[in-house]
Copies of this chain bind each other. A is one copy, B any other.
Amino acid sequence: MIYGGIEAGGTKFICAIGNEDGEIIEQIQIPTTSPKETMQEVISFFRQFTLGAIGIGSFGPCDINPKSDTYGCITSTPKKLWRDYSILGALKGEFEVPIIFNTDVNVAALAETKLGAAKGLDSCLYITVGTGIGAGAVVNGQLLQGLSHPEMGHIIVRRHPDDVYEGKCPYHGDCLEGLAAGPAIGDRWGKEASQLASRLDVWELQAFYIAQALMHYILILSPKKIILGGGVMKQKQVFSLIYNKLSELLNSYIDLPELSTYPHKYIVSPGLGDRAGIIGALILAQQGYHKKIHS
């Protein structure tokens, strides 16, 4: 059996066809323009194949509760054209197979526990620091889901006293995402984050904010592995700065070797690199298919 996966992002949609082993057979990339235009291209691509199911990892906030009337819809995004748009609805009319919808970071967390850096664990946290900051978690072997999906990028962090940048989140101003996502870094320092590799002060400040976030995630969720992905985390030098700041912040309150002795094994880059999201969408499809044939 083959499966369809969609990583629905704010700038691009990645569509892929995968096999039973989570390997990608074919893949395309579609720019995120209007829902109509983008989804038309998605549909044309998948029409070429006979799929067992389709899995979607979407940008958010979105409704991932299968029991809800608005399951599969984008909700309060700043991208006006996509607000209240049902990605699931657009596909349902076209394909008579199970279609499963979740967040981009949730499916990435799923992929990392099945095939990536958290392979074999029943718990992991996947964080992306890119255009936005978001995270998905696997807890007791299942995706974390409650009243809504987590929105971990919008937590409040204590500001660095020397940081006068006002913050870029349209909802909260200087929440974590507003201070530490790629666009905030670019704005604050007047240069694209990727062009700032040699600037120690940039990454010290970044570590100051990310370490606070990790402290919150650890104290609240206690994941067995933390995976830090997204464009900004390609600056590998920031990892050791984060370990140091986090250890200062926790001040040995949580007395575990993962934190004191080998943080470099506990807080890591994605094992699947940039493909965690799309592979996760394919795993979601696969799970949906097997659930259907066993029911």
* A–B Cβ pairs within 8 angstroms, 19 of them: A61-B253, A61-B255, A139-B140, A140-B142, A146-B222, A147-B223, A147-B256, A148-B254, A148-B256, A150-B220, A150-B221, A151-B253, A156-B212, A156-B216, A158-B158, A171-B251, A171-B252, A216-B216, A217-B220
A291 to nearest B CB, angstroms?
Answer: 16
A119: chain B residues at CB < 8 Å are: none
Tell me if A172 is interfacial: C-beta within 8 Å of chain B. Answer: yes
Interface string of A219-259 (1 = CB under 8 A from B): 11111100000000000000000000000010111111010
- Secondary structure type dominating chain A contacts: loop
List which A162-213 residues lie within 8 A (CB) of chain B: 171-172, 212
A222 surroundings in chain B (CB, below 8 A)? 144-151
Asked if A139 and B146 sit within 8 Å, CB to CB, the answer is yes
A90: CB under 8 A from chain B?
no
Interface set of A (CB-CB < 8 Å, partner B):
61, 75-76, 123, 135, 139-140, 142, 144-152, 154-159, 171-172, 212, 215-224, 249, 251-256, 258, 266
Q: Which residues of B contact A135 (CB under 8 A)?
A: 220
Once bound together, how far apart are the Cα atoms of A154 and B253, in whole Å? 9
Known: A146-B223, A150-B222, A155-B219. 14 other contacts (CB 8 A): A61-B254, A75-B255, A76-B254, A140-B142, A140-B144, A147-B222, A147-B224, A148-B222, A150-B221, A151-B219, A151-B254, A156-B216, A157-B158, A221-B221
- A251 contact set on B, CB distance < 8 A: 171-172
* Interface contact B254-A155, CB-CB below 8 Å: no
Instruction: Say whether B224 contacts A220, CB under 8 Å.
Output: no
* A157→B255 CA distance, assembly (Å): 22
CB distance from A128 to the nearest CB of B (A): 15
Closest 9 CB pairs of A and B: A146-B222, A171-B253, A123-B146, A220-B220, A151-B219, A76-B255, A147-B222, A140-B142, A171-B251
Contact between chains at B215 and A155 (CB < 8 Å): yes
Task: Tell me which residues across on chain B come within 8 A of A75, comparing CB atoms.
Answer: 255
